[in-house]
Amino acid sequence: MADLSINFAGIKSMNPFWLASGPPTNSGYQVQRAFEAGWGGAVWKTLGDPIVNVTSRFSALHYNGQRVAGFNNIELITDRPLDVNLREIAETKKKFPKQVIIASLMVEPVQEKWHEIVKKVEDVGVDGLELNFGCPHGMAERGMGSASGQVPELVEKQTSWAKEAAETPVIVKLTPNITDITATAYAASQGGADAISLINTINSLMGIDLDTWNTIPNVAGKGTHGGYCGPAVKPIALSMVGECARQTDSNIPISGIGGIGTWRDAAEFMLMGATGLQVCTAAMHHGFRIVEDMIDGLNNYLDEKGLASVMDLVGRSVPKYRDWGDLDLNHRVVARINQDQCIHCNKCHIACEDGAHQCIEMYTDKNGKPALKVREEDCVGCNLCSIVCPVDGAIDMIEKPGEEPMTWNERQALLNTL
């Protein structure tokens, strides 16, 4: 049994699994159920001046029979009065003193407003604050959420206002709807943030109904862009976490969010530099009970790797995540087809033929059976065939001896000396 507890920017949590701010953390009833199921913490549904929500709010991408490959919403921050939320936070904290409650906050970019709300939530005993600069719809039109999250100066300024009043750690939640997320990460740390969390949702339109020509979802025939999340956004979130983690001028703790649904996703985010984790869509899809396998699976994984603490995972893959110019140009891999595993769907052949480098040959072997072979001298090692292959182990990418390693950067440096 490994130790799953984390220390995230001074906030101690029994495990790294927190619910992200969203529908699952909308009320005390839900957060208490989540804590009973095993979640280590919850970031409360964003507090601010109450808003009015539209009905019909969500939609999802179902892909080839799998439901919710991606998820989209046009919901705003909490629509419940602040005093009700505060009362339920206090009550939940009292019942579950060991679990972490973070207040997610969003107010207008005015210094007094930030001071006021920070005091109110700290008075009811939250363990930390998360500033929501990420919501891409609705709130942005009012100058909040991603509208302020896309402007580094506003991020820095508002973070510093929150910090002026805060006694608990301040986490800044970043929007992915920006070209370079490290710019706003940097602004947050300049503003005094104790940690950053990312990602919030990505601008998206789920689809169009081909009969009515309405957007999906639609509100009385009209739609608007929403925020995308769920399994489909994980690669984007992971790269953004990695980009922030590998910034050499900052070692600000990161709470990883975006498409986390299993202990495997969790371990990957931690290896890429996240100390804490947040989950929204997966809990909405399957319920709070998913945390049981997240805890159990992570525990068994750590045991298997001989690691005593989950903190030993944090950042272990960050040094391996580099600029393209640091990659070895002379490294070679080629595809190899294992005849005994191959089921002869010929997907690799057509993928290579039309989408890569025309080096997988179809032929008839000496027993008259169809077979496939890679012409290794022409294979560029792109992986496409092994990606489209439906059978595990039928195509291996084999390492070939190459010349002395040399990266692009080394090559340029060498050329410059000539």
Partner 1 sequence: MRIPDTKENLWKNFDEVRADLKPKEVMEEVSRCLFCYDAPCTKACPTNINVPSFIKKIASGNMKGAAHVIMEANPMGATCARVCPTEELCEGACVLNDASLPIMIGDLQRHATNWAMKNHEPLFQPGKPNGKTVAIVGSGPAGLSAARELARYGFKVTVYEKKDKAGGLDTYGIVPFRLPQAISLWEVEQVESLGVAIHTNTEVGKDVQVETLMNDFDAVVLAVGMSDVPLLGIPGEDLDGVHDAIQFIEKVKDGHLTDRFIGKRAAVIGAGNTAIDAATCLKRLGAANVSMVYRRSEAEMTAYPFEYAFAKQDGIEFRWLTQPKSFIDDGLGHVARMECVRMKLGEIDASGRRRPEKVKNSEFYMDIDVVVKATGQVRYTSLIEAFGLENDHGIVKVNPETYQTSNPKVYAAGDVIFGNGSGEAMVVAAAEQGKKTARAIQEQMLSRI
CB of 129 to partner 1, least distance (A): 32
Catalytic annotation present for 135: yes
CB of 145 to partner 1, least distance (A): 32
Rounded to 10°, the helix 82-95/28-37 angle is 30
CB under 8 Å, gap of 24 or more: what pairs does 234-239 form? 234/258, 234/259, 234/260, 234/265, 235/259, 236/176, 236/199, 236/202, 237/176, 237/198, 237/199, 237/269, 238/268, 238/269, 238/272
Between CA 155 and CA 161, with CA 158 as vertex, the angle to 5 degrees is 150
Token reading at 141: 């039109």
- Identify which range of 149-157, 211-219, 239-247, 275-283 contacts ligand FMN by CB under 6 A: 275-283
Using CB under 8 A as the binding rule, whether residue 292 contacts partner 1 is answered as: yes
Return the one option of ligand FMN, partner 1, none that residue 103 interacts with (CB less than 5 to 8 A, by type).
none
For partner 1, which residue of 36, 116, 153, 296 counts as binding (CB under 8 A)? 296
Q: Indicate the residue among 327 and 391 with the shorter CB distance to partner 1.
A: 391
Token reading at 395: 């195509």
- Identify which range of 16-24, 83-91, 110-118, 179-187 contacts ligand FMN by CB under 6 A: 16-24
Using CB under 8 A as the binding rule, whether residue 36 contacts partner 1 is answered as: no
- How close are the terminal C-alpha atoms of the chain, in Å? 58
For ligand FMN, which residue of 11, 77, 254, 348 counts as binding (CB under 6 A)? 77
Q: Indicate the residue among 58 and 321 with the shorter CB distance to ligand FMN.
A: 58
Q: Which amino acid is at 322?
A: R
Using CB under 8 A as the binding rule, whether residue 399 contacts partner 1 is answered as: no
The contact pattern for ligand FMN, residues 33-72, with x = CB under 6 A and - = no contact, is ------------xx-----------x------------x-
Give the CA-trace dihedral at 137, 140, 141, 142, to 10 degrees: 130
CB of 66 to partner 1, least distance (A): 7
Strand partners, 105: 47, 131
Using CB under 8 A as the binding rule, whether residue 119 contacts partner 1 is answered as: no
For ligand FMN, which residue of 121, 124, 280, 351 counts as binding (CB under 6 A)? 280
For partner 1, which residue of 111, 239, 262, 346 counts as binding (CB under 8 A)? 262
Strand partners, 256: 198, 277
- Identify which range of 230-238, 372-380, 386-394, 403-411 contacts partner 1 by CB under 8 A: 386-394
Strand 66-73 with 226-229, pairing: antiparallel
Return the one option of partner 1, ligand FMN, none that residue 392 interacts with (CB less than 5 to 8 A, by type).
partner 1
254 closest CA partner among 190, 324, 182: 182
The residues annotated with a catalytic role in the active site are 135
